[in-house]
């Protein structure tokens, strides 16, 4: 099932997706539920969303260097 010769591809998308969900879904939902919507809460939600999107972009740039380990031939074993 798992080939010991394959190397990990180096992608860590879980944190990127989590940060985008916080920025796109959670932050606006909290803003809508915190009635009345004022300048302070709107600014705070916008700042949180921008910060999460920025961190998601940085995380994507850091970990999105994919390799193709499946076509790499394993080293030959000596007898």
- With beta carbons less than 8 A apart as the criterion, state whether 69 and 2 touch: no
Q: For the segment 19-33, what is each residue's pLDDT rounded down to a tens digit?
A: 999 999 999 898 888
Cβ within 8 Å of residue 77, ≥6 positions away = none
Q: Please identify which residue in the block is written with the tokens 């940060």.
A: 19
Q: Which long-range contacts (CB under 8 A, 24 or more apart) does 56-59 make?
A: 56/15, 56/16, 56/19, 56/20, 56/23, 59/12, 59/15, 59/16, 59/19
Q: For the segment 41-77, what is each residue's pLDDT rounded down to a tens digit?
A: 889 999 999 999 999 999 888 876 655 555 556 666 6
| pTM assigned to the model | 0.65
**Residue 27: what are its φ and ψ, rounded to 5°?**
-65, -45
What pLDDT shows up at residue 55? 93
């Amino acid at each position: 099932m798992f080939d010991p010769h394959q190397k990990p591809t180096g992608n860590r998308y879980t944190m990127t997706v989590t940060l985008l969900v916080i920025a796109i879904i959670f932050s606006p939902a909290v803003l809508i539920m915190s009635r009345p919507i004022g300048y302070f809460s709107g600014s705070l939600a916008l700042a949180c969303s921008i910060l999460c999107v920025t961190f998601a972009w940085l995380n994507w740039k850091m970990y999105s260097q994919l390799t193709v380990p499946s076509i790499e031939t394993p080293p030959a074993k000596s007898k």
